[in-house]
Amino acid sequence: MKWLVAGICTTLAVVVAVIGTVVSVWGAGEVTVPTNVTAVAPTLSLSQNAYRWYENANALTPTTPLADESTATSTPVSGTVVRLRMNLRASGLPLSAGAEFKLQYSQSTSSGWADVGTSTPWTFFDNSGVADGQVIVTTVLSSSDVGESYAESNPTAVSPNEIGKNQEGEWDWVLLNSSAARTSSWYFRMVYASGTLLDAYTSYPSFSAVTVTTSTSSTSSGGSVPPNIGFVRKKQPSASTTASSTFFPPPPPVVRPDILIRCDFNGDRVCNIIDLSILLFYYGKSGSQVAVYDLDGSGKVDFPDISILMFYWS
């Protein structure tokens, strides 16, 4: 019985203590709850966003697109000059004017990145009518808010305009395919002049690989026919054939893929009158802008180039 009385007493003591605490809080009218909040300062996040490929123009604003916005196009032939408009997006904070960037290339988005230089597969090109570092007046990308600079070298000129928070600034790069293989895909990205990567890459300007296929021709007996010029003997005469049926015009020559790429200026996979017309349009001209039509590498589009194209006529 003693332990029962002791237990009841202990329980009553606890209840009284709780009631006393509740009454005390109620009487106070309010309770102070600590609300310490630490503010986190925003930071700048810079991401590579939209792009578009254009034909080169000796002017600040390119006008002839090679593909839709943020869409790859085929790797151009060696000697071709192209323009790349691309923009960067600032998030968290504005990007103040005065930033410098470099353009890099690779055959993969995951590795192998290198700066565009003077002796790389992709090099810069000098347009005589535009100054390196000239401020872009007219943006061409749908998401761009401000123009930055035209670039013919690494690094860029310091950015002339601030990119506001959640806005995008546009750059213009002029590139020459110096020795980049058409059978490879190529990717490009901007980094800070120090080599530091941007915070994010939404998309990469890219060229897609060109697949060149060749067809083989054969005689009626199944033998392979090599490239020919003129008439060829289809088969040995026999008693059942006549002289008039012995000779036939040759099939089109089988042009090596590397040669076809050079002389097929309009991309229809043959070297014909259309390509000759294009070549004649540039006849007598010289310089890096017409290097793609200078088949013998003499520095000028002239008669030897016509001879080369005619040799591979198909």
Tell me how far apart the alpha carbons of residues 5 and 150 are, in angstroms, rounded to a whole number. Answer: 94
CATH number at residue 72: 2.60.40
* In-domain check, residue 221: no
Query: Is the model's pLDDT at 227 over the cut of 50?
Result: no
pLDDT of residue 234: 41
Each residue's pLDDT tens digit, 43-64: 999 999 999 999 999 999 999 9
The structure tokens listed for 63 are 């006008």
Identify the residue with better confidence: 72 or 279.
72
In a domain, 2, yes or no: no
Domain assignment present for 155: yes
Rg from Cα positions in the chain = 36
- 164 and 97 in a common domain: yes
Question: Is residue 166 located within the same domain as residue 291?
Answer: no
Helix and strand element counts for the chain (H, E): 4, 13
Range of the domain at 161: 45-208
d(CA 74, CA 139): 24
Domain count, the chain: 2
Is residue 204 scored above 70 in pLDDT?
Answer: yes
- Note whether 179 and 70 are same-domain residues: yes
Whichever domain contains 278, its CATH number is 1.10.1330.10
pTM: 0.61
Check whether residue 191 and residue 298 sit in a common domain: no
Say if residue 111 is in the same domain as residue 256: no
pLDDT tens per residue, range 73-130: 999 999 999 999 999 999 999 999 999 999 999 999 999 999 999 999 999 999 999 9
Is residue 196 domain-shared with residue 251, that is, in the same domain?
no
**In this structure, is residue 216 part of a structural domain?**
no
Q: What's the token pair of residue 160? A: 């002339």
Whether residue 23 has pLDDT greater than 50: no
Q: Is residue 195 domain-shared with residue 258, that is, in the same domain?
A: no
Nearest alpha-carbon partner for 267 in 216, 210, 190, 221? 210
Q: Are residues 191 and 253 in the same domain?
A: no
Using the predicted structure, report yes or no on whether residue 186 has a pLDDT greater than 90: yes
Let me know whether 262 and 164 are in one domain. no
On whether both 51 and 199 belong to a single domain, the answer is yes
Q: What is the pLDDT averaged over residues 171-177?
A: 98
Residues 6+ apart with CB under 8 A from 81: 56, 125, 174, 175, 176, 177, 288, 289
